[in-house]
Structure 1
Amino acid sequence: MKKQELIHLHGLLAQVRDHYEQTLDTEVEHQRYTELGVKPTSIHKSKTDHKAAVFALAEGITGELESTTDTERVSAAAD
């Protein structure tokens, strides 16, 4: 993935996090993300920095989703 694409993905994930927090009035865990100090607008940061930020954001979002969803499993088989 090119750096420009990674920055775009970073921005999209940040928007997903913001939307999730506003819609459900909850906060996604993003301490690790904040500690990295890399924002989607930090275009001077390296590709590796943005990659770490994307992973940290994704982990925070999925962690929050896992804690709020039901534990009931849905069958993967099609009808």
Structure 2
Amino acid sequence: MHMKKQELIHLHGLLAEVGNYYERVSTRELELSEYESKGVRPTSIHKSKTDHKSAVFALAKGITGTMDEAESAEETVTAKAD
């Protein structure tokens, strides 16, 4: 599937909102050092399609990685409580 730059920017913005929401409703801060090092935000419309694609993947990785860690921690706590 090939996305247009505008579609990638839109996806980037949506993922950023998901990340913000997750941080608000959970007690965890997302690990986004890889994403932040890219220096590309959804509002960086002057950046290339490739830059946004890389940022989207890094942001998604940061979100899912933090969620995986949270799930593993919950499973550990639950197992110790049983």
TM-score range (shorter-chain normalised) is 0.7 to 0.9
Q: Secondary structure at the match of 1:68?
A: helix
Q: Determine the C-alpha separation between the residues in 2 that align with 1:59 and 1:44.
A: 23
Deviations 1:8-65 (A, max 9, x none): 0000000000000011132110001111000000000000000000000000011011
Inter-partner Cα distance in structure 1 for 2:66 and 2:21: 13
From the two aligned structures, give the one with the greater helix fraction. 2
Cα RMSD, aligned residues only:
1.4
Segments of structure 1 that go 5 or more residues without pairing to the other structure are 73-79
Which stretch of structure 1 is more off in the superposition, 16-25 or 62-71? Answer: 62-71
Task: Percent identity, please.
Answer: 62
Q: Which residue of 2 aligns with 1:33?
A: 35
**TM norm structure 1:** 0.85
TM-score between both structures, scaled by the size of structure 2: 0.82
* Partner of residue 7, structure 1: 9
**Corresponding residue SS for 2:41:** coil
The alpha carbon displacement at 1:68 in A equals 1.2
Number of the residue aligned with 1:50: 52
After TM superposition, which residue ranges in structure 1, 4 or more long, deviate above 3 angstroms?
Answer: none
Following the alignment from structure 1 to structure 2, what is the Cα–Cα distance between the partners of residues 25 and 64?
11
